[in-house]
Structure formats: C-alpha cells, structure tokens
Structure 1
Amino acid sequence: MNLSPVLKYEAFRQAMEGRKKLSIHNKAIMTVIDFSLASTEKRLVVLDLENKKVLFNTLVSHGKNSGENYATNFSNQQESLKSSLGFFMTENTYNGENGYSLVLNGLEEGINDNAKARYVVMHGADYCSTGTISSLGRLGKSYGCPAVPREYAGPIINTIKDGTLLFIYADNPDYLAKTHIIHQPNVLMAQFSRKQRLENADEG
C-alpha cells in the first residue's frame, strides 16, 4: 500500500492488531489518527484495506486541553476537553451544532468508553484548516472531538460510518500500560529476559 509517506509503521501495526482482535462490523475500511504528529501535519488516514488504497489523508484537530501544536494529554473524563486514545467503532450520523457528525463508540474500558457520554464525535470545523495554521501556527482545537476540515467532513464520514474501526495513536506509555488490546513486544521481551536471567542464576 506504500503507506510510509502517510502513516508510521507502529501506528499501522497497532491498528491492525486491534482490527484482528476486535469484533468490527466492517473491517474493509480503517481509520488511523496519529496524535504523535503535530497538528500542522496530515495525521488522519482512511484506508481501504480490501483494495489496498489510501482514501483520505488530511488534518484533524485534538482537544483543547490535550496540548497546543502537539497532543500530549489524554482523558476519558467528562468535561476534560481532552482527546481520548485507543480503539473506537463508528456508528450512526446526525446533524447537530457542528453540522454533519459521526457518533464514535469507545471500545476500551477506562480509556475511551465515555466517548458517547462526552459527545466525542467526528465533525467538520472551520478551525481545522490551512488558514488557521497560517494565522496561529497550529490548528484550532476541539472539545475532545477529532474534527476534520469542513470540506472533507461529509466524504470522510460517509466512508467510515456504520461499523468501521477508528484507532487514535500517540506513542503514549500510559495508554500502552492500560490497554488490553495492544501486544507490547518490548515489555514482554524484557520480562522474558529477566526470567531467563533468574533461571540461569538458579542453575549457577
């Protein structure tokens, strides 16, 4: 798929691991948001895995209290105004205060399962634009929603609605310590090495 120009390998690997483990209605389409990147970069990627195509690669805003140009703080709490990490399944669409919007169901308990109660949805926003970057040096910020450029909201939402996987990545140690979905090879290798050292010491 030649993803290296648009998506980090580790973000893709973790997303694919969740795709294998989770019960997702439509596994052909997958969205990855990489919050390890600056808001000035195109950190949302929509993939058609069946046809091996990149459908969208665009800007996406993070929560007001998650950081400035970079998102570094995340929360599952009501009124935190922060983004949440991890795996979500897309649900229905509706027209609300922010126009055409997509409901997101957080699939990880204690990490993002308050998303619906917090009204964390995907929607279009004027502050998610190259014009805002030009004036502020970064994107504008949401109340925790992954907001996309207004002109892409309809096409993206219509592509990923109704049961596709959305994964928000950030190379975040706190998330990796809490999630039960992502395999952590470095941690497991360290545990194995320690066990092996202890066994060798016992034999000696």
Structure 2
Amino acid sequence: MTKAQAVLVAAFIALSVSFGIHQINPFSNLSSSKGITVIKADSIAKPQWIALYDSLNLKKQGLSEKAFYYAWYGFQKMKLQNSVMAIADFTQSSRNKRLYVIDLIKRKVLLNTYVAHGRNSGEEFADKFSNNNSSFQSSLGFYKTLGTYQGKHGLSLRLEGLEKGINDRALERAIVMHGADYVSENFIKNTGRLGRSQGCPAVSIADSKNLITLMHNGAGLFIYSASQKYFKSSPLLSGLLPELEIQGQTLGDPLLYTSGK
C-alpha cells in the first residue's frame, strides 16, 4: 500500500468511527498486477432455479440444466397446489436413474429412480413420441397427477396431460404411473436396457407405492426430451427457446414458486 493509500484508509476509519459505520477495507476489492490496479466485480446472485439446481447436486445425478430450467418454468405456469414436481429425463439412457422427484418447498430430492418409456418410443433411448391411442409411445410434456386406483399393475396413479395435441389424451389412453417387474436392475443386466411400457412412465414395484404416495392429487410431472417439435408446440413453454444454451449465461427466474396461491 502506498503512503497516499495509507492516509486514505486512516481517514476512512476515522470517519467510520465518527458516524458509527462498520469498519471495512475500502481497497478490499482491489488487486494489483504489474503495477495495474484491477477492480474485482462483486459476485452476482444466482437465479433461484440455478441455486436450487446446484444445492440439490442435480448435475452429478445426471439431470441437465436445460431439463431442470424447462421443468421449473412450466411448473410455475401450472400453478399446482402440490409442491412436488417430477422430471422424467428421456434424453438419458433407460439404464440410468432418470426420474427425479423434487419438493420445491422443502428443497429436497425425494426420489431418484428408474422410469420406463413406451415400447414404440425406442429401445434403450426414447426418441419417438405420440399422443395417439394404441401408439404404445410415450407423450412428452407436463402432467398433473390425479387420484389412485387399483388396476392390473396394482396401485396406479392417474395422469392428466395438460398440453393440447401433445399429451391431452393421457386419460383416454390410460397413461398412468404404476409399478412393473420390467423396471429393475436385473432386467437391465439381462437385456442391456430397461423394460418398456405401453406408453406409461412405469417405475419399479419397489418404488411405486412410495412414489404414488408422494405425488397423488395435484403434483406435477414433466416428461422431457430434446424434441424440437415439442418445444415449438408446447403452450407451457412458449416464450422459451429450445436451442437456448444455458451454460455460460445468466438466466433470471421466470417466476417464483408460490404453491399455487
């Protein structure tokens, strides 16, 4: 520190004492390199969705920033009463635990597990999607969970597709969440991939009861893929660009979660 800087610091401290100001170093944001003074920019607060994504360690668990950002944006627009949202990331292999069940209020990952796609959507990866009856394909987009019933797969959770022309035939197609014996690590070991459904986001029998308990009556589900066709037609993601490169950009919160109030 030069003699002139020392004098300024002493003067600043004296003024701080006189006016009851907390003492700080006015040069704490300065650094010197080869005689050049550099001002260090103050850190910018992270948008809420990025802070939550980071705090939940979702990147390490395999969920991309894009998938989480689109889910976050859509769930705000849905205005659900239940704070639980589930994201099925169908860009991932069915060998991965690609279903993430998150409580937005408690800020906690409640479950990370396997989930199946439709048999006509693909083998290991899902790349074909349909809203049509008897297509045996998964439908992308946002769903609201309804009540439960006992079906051929035991306890099952009804899903209401919220995007017209994309998944709004879910109820008539009987697209539900249920347990299935083809969703298991043993099945993956034997076949190299998870088993497939008739279009339902099926989970393991071991996880099904817990999952349904967490999600019944008003939670949200987002089935995600990098489908350009979906992004162009999704009413809940209107205003967002599917080709958006999130990495390296600072994106603000589209909305704040309000528990539907």
Structure 2 length-normalised TM: 0.70
Note if 1:124 corresponds to 2:154.
Answer: no
Q: CA deviation at 1:54?
A: 0.6
Partner of residue 25, structure 2: none
Following superposition of structure 1 onto structure 2, how do residues 4-153 of structure 1 map, counting pairs within 5 Å?
4-6=59-61, 7-26=63-82, 28-153=83-208
Letter in 1 for 2:169: N
Unaligned runs of 5+ in 1: 189-204
Structure 1 length-normalised TM: 0.89
- Say if 1:128 and 1:185 are closer, same or farther in 2 by CA, change over 3 A: same
CA deviation string 1:122-159 (max 9, x = no partner):
00000000000011100111000000011000001100
Q: CA deviation at 1:49?
A: 1.1
- Say if 1:38 and 1:98 are closer, same or farther in 2 by CA, change over 3 A: same
- Say if 1:152 and 1:187 are closer, same or farther in 2 by CA, change over 3 A: closer
C-alpha contact (below 8 Å) 2:117/2:137 kept by paired residues: yes
Q: CA deviation at 1:31?
A: 0.4
Distance between the aligned counterparts of 2:243 and 2:57, measured in 1?
Answer: 29
Give the number of the structure whose alpha-carbon radius of gyration is greater: 2
Q: Which has the higher strand share?
A: 1
Distance between the aligned counterparts of 2:152 and 2:132, measured in 1?
Answer: 21
CA deviation string 1:9-35 (max 9, x = no partner):
111100111111113221x11100000
Count residues in correspondence. 188
Q: CA deviation at 1:2?
A: 2.1
